[in-house]
Amino acid sequence: MKRLTVIATVLALLTGCASNEHLVFFTDTSIGIEIGSEPNSGVPAKFVVGYKRKEGVIDPLLPDYEQVSSTANAGVSTPVSGDGGVILVPNGTLAPKGSSVKPHSVLAKLNFGADASGTDATTAQWFATGKAAELIAKNPSVGGALTGDAEINKASAINTSASKSEVRTFAYLTMTYQFLAEMTKTSAEAQQIKSEIDALDTEEFRQSFAKYYWDPKDTNGKALLVNVVNHTKSKPEFTRATNYLAQLLNSIEVATEALNTPGVTVAGASISDIQQQTLRDAAALYKTRYAAGFDKLRKHPSVIKMVNYVNKNMIIESTSAGE
């Protein structure tokens, strides 16, 4: 029997050796579509369309020392090992803190990025031990991410522009929609949800507008380009709505930047007072359209249903074992 599984797997194995002298950590991460079959032979076969990665770390553990200051050892010029693991140094003594051990200070970051239809998404996985882990844990944004505490997250959110956060929302919704589209191949319920989601692509998200963007060929970054976007009548699709909002958001940012940057040109000539007023009017209009459209999508019952359905039907596997 064939089966199609949308899977986001983080398989983690954390064990300690019998000697308690090593930290062993392995992960197996898959983002994409896992397709498997179970032939009559009983030997399953599967492959992943997307992204798959395995990592492993074997980290030796070290005694956790603390320093005991002393002036009596001031004459010591080089560290000297003593009984019981005590180390004599010029400004005192280093002694083990009981029987505790700690791993080396290790920090590793593994990144993965993807883009689709003008939006992008990234994910990062961190592995940290020893002092590196202690320093990361003190970061407010890390604490907020681990606990889900909105108050802790507030500090890091202040330094992130709203537009960046909302672009990530578009990327997340686009990715979720793509997972839903795959599920429609085997699920009637997914087909119904997709139909409801696509129905959100109404005339509200198909209005013509002047798209503002910087000329990528201009080395000074001050040549403003304008392109009128006309949305043709076509079969409704949810990602058209998210793309429309993303383009509005980008035009708002470019128009605002152009109004506050000296030396901006349009079609090779300095921007005129009339053109500046046009930018102000466009930015104000786009902000109204964008706010209404974004608020509609993020609160719409169909969008919430899509997210809940995809999350519920994604297989998340995790296993752990002690020593």
125-156 residue pLDDT tens: 555 666 556 655 555 445 544 444 444 444 33
Quickly state the pLDDT bin for 69 (edges 50, 70, 90).
Answer: low
- Report whether pLDDT(91) > 70: no
Distance of alpha carbon 209 from the chain centroid: 30
Helical segments of 210-266, H only: 238-259
**H or E stretch including 299?**
helix 273-299
Tokens of 305: 């249903």
Strands 223-229 and 265-266: parallel
What pLDDT score does 159 carry? Answer: 33
Alpha-carbon distances, residue 81 vs 22, 93, 171 (angstroms):
23, 10, 57
* Distance separating alpha carbons of residues 110 and 125, to the nearest angstrom: 5
301, HSE (Cβ side, Cα atoms, 13 Å): 1
Long-range contacts of 68-73, Cβ-Cβ distance < 8 Å, separation of 24 or more: 68/92, 68/93, 68/94, 68/95
Residue keyed to tokens 């500090």: 155
Q: What is the predicted pLDDT for the residue at 260?
A: 92
Domain spans of the chain, in order of start: 2-161, 162-312
Residue 31, pLDDT > 60, answer no
Report, as an integer, the average pLDDT of 175-182. 88
Which of the four pLDDT bands, split at 50, 70 and 90, describes residue 194? very high
Asked whether residue 71 carries a pLDDT value surpassing 50, the answer given is yes
Strand pairing partners for 119?
116
Q: Show the 3-state SS of 67-88.
A: EEECCCCCCCCCCEECHHHCEE
The predicted structure's pLDDT at residue 235: 84
| Strand partners of residue 122 | 113
Residue 71's identity, in one-letter code, is T
Residue 114 in this model has a pLDDT that exceeds 70: no
Q: Are 4 and 11 in contact (CB under 8 A)?
A: no
Mean pLDDT of 10-20: 39
Mean pLDDT of all residues in the chain?
Answer: 68
Q: What type of residue sits at position 206?
A: R
Q: What is the mean pLDDT of residues 185-201?
A: 93
Residue that has been written with the tokens 């578009």 in this structure: 170
Per-residue pLDDT, 280: 94
Phi and psi at residue 151, to the nearest 5°: -65, -40
Q: Give the other-Cβ count within 10 Å of 243's Cβ.
A: 19
pLDDT digits (tens, 9 = 90+) for 251-293: 999 999 999 999 999 988 999 999 999 999 999 999 999 999 9
Question: H/E element holding 151?
Answer: helix 150-158
Rounded Cα distance between 71 and 73, Å, is 5
The pLDDT value recorded for residue 254 is 92
Nearest Cα to 145, choosing from 117, 126, 130, 161?
Answer: 126
Q: Which residues pair with 108 in a beta bridge?
A: 127
Q: Could you identify the residue written with the tokens 């009981």?
A: 98
Q: Which helix (H) or strand (E) holds 90?
A: none
Question: 14 - beta bridge partners?
Answer: 25
| pLDDT of 51 strictly over 60 | no
